[in-house]
Amino acid sequence: MYESSDELLVELSDHILTVTLNRPDRLNAISGPMLSALSSTLQQANIDPEVRVVVMTGAGRGFCSGLDLKDQMEGGSGIGSNRGYRLFDLHNSPPIVINRMDKPMICALNGAAAGYGMDMALGCDIRISSEHGKLGAVFAKRGVLPESGGCWYLPRLLGWAKAAEVAFLGEVLDAQRCLELGLVNKVVPHDELMTETMKMAKQIANNAPLSVQSTKRMMRLGQDETFEAAVDHIYLQLLPLFGSEDFKEGLSAFAEHREPAFKGR
C-alpha cells in the first residue's frame, strides 16, 4: 500500500508507519518530488486504520536541511519569480498536512533540522533527539523568517519571551539546549535513537487509537477555543467513543486485570 522511492523510504510495521527522508548526500534537503510524496504519504496514513503512529526521521547525519532551493531554482528562476512563489505555497504541503494530522507523530531527530526541516520537526507531537540532534533557528541570519509553521509553533511551545529569544538570535540549538527549552522531549545516545523512538511509538500504538486521535484533535482545536467551547466539543467527541468496541474492551481489560487488545473500532 505504501511505496518507497529513492528519496522517501516508507515502512509500516505493528501499526507504526516510519517515514525516512532519504537524501543523505544533501542532508535530506527537500526536493519537489519529496514534497509531493511526503504530503501524499501522510494524508494516506491519516485515514488508514492500520496506522496508529507515524515516526519521521532522516537518513545519514542530518534530519532535514530545509528546502532544496538550488534544485528548485535551476534554470535561472529567482525567489521573486512565479516559480518561487509556487515553491513556498503551503497548500497541502507537508507542514499543513502535519498540522492537520489526527494520527500522533513522533520526530526522531537524528541530526540537524534547519529551515523547513525545523518547522516540520516542530509540527510533530513529540520529538526525541539523538545527542547529535540540532535545531537550526537561523532564519534571521538568512534574511527570512520561519515560513512553514515556526512562527506559530514557537510561542505556543516556549511562551513569548523564549520564542523571541530563539527566533531573534538566529542560533543553532544543540540537543541539550533544545531539551532545556522544551523543544524536544528527551535526548538519547545516537545509537539508541530509533530503539527509544520505537519503544514510545509502540506504547502509543497499543492504546485505543480512536481515543488517542480524538484527544489529539481536541488538544489542537482547543488552542483556539474558549474553555466552555472546548468542553462542549469534547463531549461530542466522547459520545461515539462510548459506543466503540475499544471502550468495551478497555473496561473489560480493567475488570479482568489484563492488557487490552484494541482494534480501532
Instruction: Cell 516556549: give the residue.
Output: 158
Output the pLDDT for position 227.
Answer: 92
What angle do helix axes 245-255 and 209-222 make, rounded to 10 degrees?
A: 110
Output the pLDDT for position 74.
Answer: 55
d(CA 55, CA 195): 12
Output the pLDDT for position 78.
Answer: 42
Q: Which residues of the chain have pLDDT under 70?
A: 69-90
1 Cβ neighbours under 8 A, 6+ residues apart: 12, 44, 48
Output the pLDDT for position 67.
Answer: 84
Output the pLDDT for position 72.
Answer: 53
Q: Tell me the CA distances in angstroms from 58 to 9, 221, 264, one per residue in order.
A: 9, 29, 29
Output the pLDDT for position 80.
Answer: 45
d(CA 137, CA 119): 9
8-205: CATH superfamily: 2-enoyl-CoA Hydratase; Chain A, domain 1 (3.90.226.10)
Output the pLDDT for position 40.
Answer: 93
What's the alpha-carbon Rg for the chain, to the nearest Å?
A: 19
Domain with CATH 1.10.12 in the chain: 209-255
Q: Tell me the CA distances in angstroms from 255 to 103, 249, 252, 259, 264, one per residue in order.
A: 28, 10, 5, 10, 20
Instruction: Cell 541539550: give the residue.
Output: 176
pLDDT, tens digit (0-9, with 9 covering 90-100), for 163-197: 999 999 999 999 999 999 999 999 999 999 999 99
Max intra-chain CA distance, the chain: 68
Output the pLDDT for position 77.
Answer: 42
Output the pLDDT for position 75.
Answer: 45
Q: How many CB atoms lie within 10 A of CB 25?
A: 9
d(CA 25, CA 83): 25
Domain with CATH 3.90.226.10 in the chain: 8-205
CATH class of 209-255: mainly alpha
Contact 62, 27 (CB under 8 A): yes
Beta strands in the chain (DSSP E): 8-13, 16-21, 53-58, 62-64, 105-109, 112-114, 126-130, 134-136, 172-174, 186-188
d(CA 3, CA 148): 26
